[in-house]
Structure 1
Amino acid sequence: METPCVKICVIHPTAGICEGCGRTLAEIGGWLTLSADDRRRVMATLPARLSQLSSLS
């Protein structure tokens, strides 16, 4: 199963996303139940989410 997890599991307090992979807690928790297409859709948004974290720090 594809996963963006990089084993850096820290939720950013303001953005509410994982600083390692960019997923929300809901996405992380439901990852196993998402279809492969849904997982790919989420993964396509992660680079943009992670780049926004640099402006919050």
Structure 2
Amino acid sequence: MERPCIKVCDYDDDTGWCRGCGMTKPERKAWKRAREYREAILENLPARLEAMEKAGHATGEAARKRK
């Protein structure tokens, strides 16, 4: 399974979610060693990115362009 990181790595101060992929720093660090949690991590990302977009934050590729 490929990791969802798109190498933006700009974390929201309020939520701790990456504006690029939606993962938290601990999830990003655990990705390689905690294979059993990958599916659960992936399930949460779309809702996180959507919530950040609704709050007016650039996410995904748009967050890359913002930098």
Q: TM-score, normalised by structure 1?
A: 0.83
The letter for the 1-side match of 2:26 is A
The number of aligned residues is 56
Q: Which runs of 5+ in 2 are unaligned?
A: 57-67
Match of 2:44?
Answer: 45
Match of 1:20?
Answer: 20
RMSD of Structure 2 on Structure 1 (CA):
1.3
Percent sequence identity over matched residues? Answer: 36
Structure with a larger share of its residues in helix = 1
Secondary structure, counterpart of 2:31 in structure 1: helix
Secondary structure, counterpart of 2:2 in structure 1: coil
Q: TM-score, normalised by structure 2?
A: 0.73
Q: Which runs of 5+ in 1 are unaligned?
A: none
